[in-house]
Structure 1
Amino acid sequence: MIGTDALQGMVLELQDEMSQYRHQFGIRRNEFITEAMSCGMSEVEARSYAIQSIGPVVPVECMPTLAPGKTRPLSPLLAARYRYVGDWKEIDEHLLLPDEVLRIARTEQFRGWISDMRNYWVESAPYRFGDDRLSLLSVANEEEGHFSMLVWKEPGEEPEVWTYASQHEYRFSHLLHWFKWLNGRSEE
């Protein structure tokens, strides 16, 4: 369990990481446009995908899990994330509000990915944990199954973040380390 002083420091550090991620969008946008154009996309089309959309803060009191009707209380880092911004879309990362978590988690396509991971990807989060210990944090590509999940291992502790993309898994001990990874400074 993380001590109170350490946790307060982590919340402040997370706020800084979220601010950096938000304000360095221009750099990521330019990199995305350059890469997309090198793959044959027109500049106009690339720019149409290279957007950042930040919704207003909305009250969030709990996080829905993949188990119907089951929620988890917000941890201090998750509470800080939802106090910072609401819905947050950027190029290929969509940090979800709880209503979007519920919508996506109920889709046949998402349930199919969870089932496949549970059946065929040994040691994946769905293989190791039940739906009541998993929440959806963000989606990078809904069609291809690129998403990040919260893994609630122990009550009262920060959930881990496990990211799945292109048949790869990345694990982070909590939200702060995930944002550092998004900012290009992974510590794990």
Structure 2
Amino acid sequence: MIGTDAVQGMVSELHHEMSQYRHQFGIRRNEFITEAMSCGMSEEEAGSYAIQNIGPVVPVACMPTLAPGKTRPLSPLLAARYRYAGDWKDIGEHLLLPDEVRRIAGTEQFRGWISDMRNYWIESAPYRFGDDRLSLLSVTSEEEGHFSMLIWKEPDGEPEVWTYASQHEYRFSHLLHWFKWLNGRSGE
């Protein structure tokens, strides 16, 4: 268990990382457009994908898991994330609100991804943990199964963040390290 002073420090550092991620959008946008154009996309088309949209803060009391009707209380870092911003889209990354988590987690396509990971990806989060210990944090592509999950290893601790993209898995011990990674620094 992390001490109170350490948690307050982590929450403060997370706020800084979220602010940096938010305010460095222009740099990421330019990099995305340049890369997309090098792959043959027009500047206008690339620009249509390179958007940032941050919704207002909405009250969030708990986080739904992949198990229907089962929720987890917000950890201090998750609570700080939801006090910072509501629905948050940044180029391809879509940080979800609980209603969106429920919607996506209930789709046949997403349930198929989870089932395939359970059956064929040894040591993936769905292979190792039950639905009551898994939730969605963000989605990059619903069609291709690119998403980040919250994993509650301990009932009252900070959930880990595991990101799945292009048959790769990236693991972070908590939300702060994940945001550092989004900002281009390895959090761990």
TM-score range for the pair, normalised by the shorter chain length: over 0.9
Separation in 2 of the partners of 1:70 and 1:186?
A: 32
Any residues of structure 2 matched to 1:61-100 within 5 Å, and which?
61-100=61-100
The unaligned stretches of length 5 or more in structure 1 are: none
Separation in 2 of the partners of 1:185 and 1:95?
A: 19
What are the superposed Cα offsets for residues 45-73 of structure 1, whole Å, 9 maximum, x if unpaired? 00000000000000000000000000000
Q: Does 1:147 align with 2:147?
A: yes
Partner of residue 23, structure 2 = 23
- The aligned amino acid for 2:155 is P
- The aligned amino acid for 2:166 is S
Q: Which runs of 4+ in 1 moved over 6 A?
A: none
Separation in 2 of the partners of 1:140 and 1:48?
A: 16
What are the superposed Cα offsets for residues 64-87 of structure 1, whole Å, 9 maximum, x if unpaired? 000000000000000000000000
Q: Does 1:33 align with 2:33?
A: yes
Q: CA deviation at 1:156?
A: 1.0
What are the superposed Cα offsets for residues 159-178 of structure 1, whole Å, 9 maximum, x if unpaired? 00000000000000000000
Partner of residue 115, structure 1 = 115
- The aligned amino acid for 1:17 is E
Q: What TM-score comes out, normalization by structure 2 length?
A: 0.99
Separation in 1 of the partners of 2:108 and 2:30?
A: 35
Q: What TM-score comes out, normalization by structure 1 length?
A: 0.99
Q: Does 1:171 align with 2:171?
A: yes
Q: CA deviation at 1:187?
A: 2.5
Partner of residue 58, structure 1 = 58
What are the superposed Cα offsets for residues 109-138 of structure 1, whole Å, 9 maximum, x if unpaired? 000000000000000000000000000000
Separation in 2 of the partners of 1:157 and 1:106?
A: 26
Q: CA deviation at 1:144?
A: 0.4
**Identity level (%):** 89
3-state secondary structure, aligned to 1:2: coil
- The aligned amino acid for 1:127 is Y
Separation in 1 of the partners of 2:114 and 2:17?
A: 30
Separation in 2 of the partners of 1:187 and 1:39?
A: 30
Partner of residue 106, structure 2 = 106
- The aligned amino acid for 1:117 is M
- The aligned amino acid for 2:36 is A
Separation in 2 of the partners of 1:32 and 1:106?
A: 31
Q: CA deviation at 1:34?
A: 0.3
Q: May I ask how many residue pairs the two structures share in their alignment? A: 188
3-state secondary structure, aligned to 2:136: strand
The unaligned stretches of length 5 or more in structure 2 are: none
Q: CA deviation at 1:186?
A: 0.9
Separation in 2 of the partners of 1:171 and 1:40?
A: 32
RMSD: 0.4
- The aligned amino acid for 1:173 is S
Partner of residue 183, structure 1 = 183
- The aligned amino acid for 1:129 is F
